Amino acid sequence: MSTNTELYEQDLARWGTQTAVLLREGKLGEVDLAAVAEELESVGRNDAHRLWHHLRELLVWFLAWNYAPAQRLQHPRWYVRIVNERVEIEIILKTSASLTPTVAEDLAETYAHARTVASEETGLPPETFPQTCPWTAAQVVRGSFWPMGNHELETTPRGMEDGETDADEC
């Protein structure tokens, strides 16, 4: 009995569909189990890479927003980009919760790259930005945190800090 190894090497999408069918039918002997293991491992690597990418992008826009305030009106999309990157990070962490501790671990590395990109985006010299990330991992991923100079701004309305919502008042 042969496995579907050849298909794996030729057409990954079709291999995935066929492998799912074979697994559901219990035909393990026809499945290239090493390829299945490889693909399962790649899911985690892919999510980790996506998290790293979106964390770096978020830091770029934090730096631009925080250190180039005069440019904010010229670039209104900076706000949207910050919101979008946070949403992407939230989705990744919701579906791959085991990556949550890596945010703090990845912060220093992603920040170093973010400084370079933010310098290009704003036209400011890299020295404009601190050598180390001025924000904690918790601040970076918290949707209510907003970089505003030397202090943080919480955008959670007063009285709603404990999980209350507007719906609670209805």
Span 134-160, average pLDDT: 69
Q: What is the 3-state secondary structure (H, E, C) of 33-89?
A: HHHHHHHHHHHHHHHHHHHHHHHHHHHHHHHHHHHCHHHCCCCCHHHHHHHHHHHHH
pLDDT in tens, 21-44: 999 999 999 999 999 999 888 888
Residue with tokens 């890596």: 102
Amino acid present at 126:
P
pLDDT in tens, 17-26: 999 999 999 9
pLDDT in tens, 54-97: 999 999 999 999 999 889 888 889 989 999 999 999 999 999 99
pLDDT at 136 over 50: yes
What pLDDT is attached to residue 149? Answer: 56
Least confident of 77-91, 110-124, 153-167: 153-167
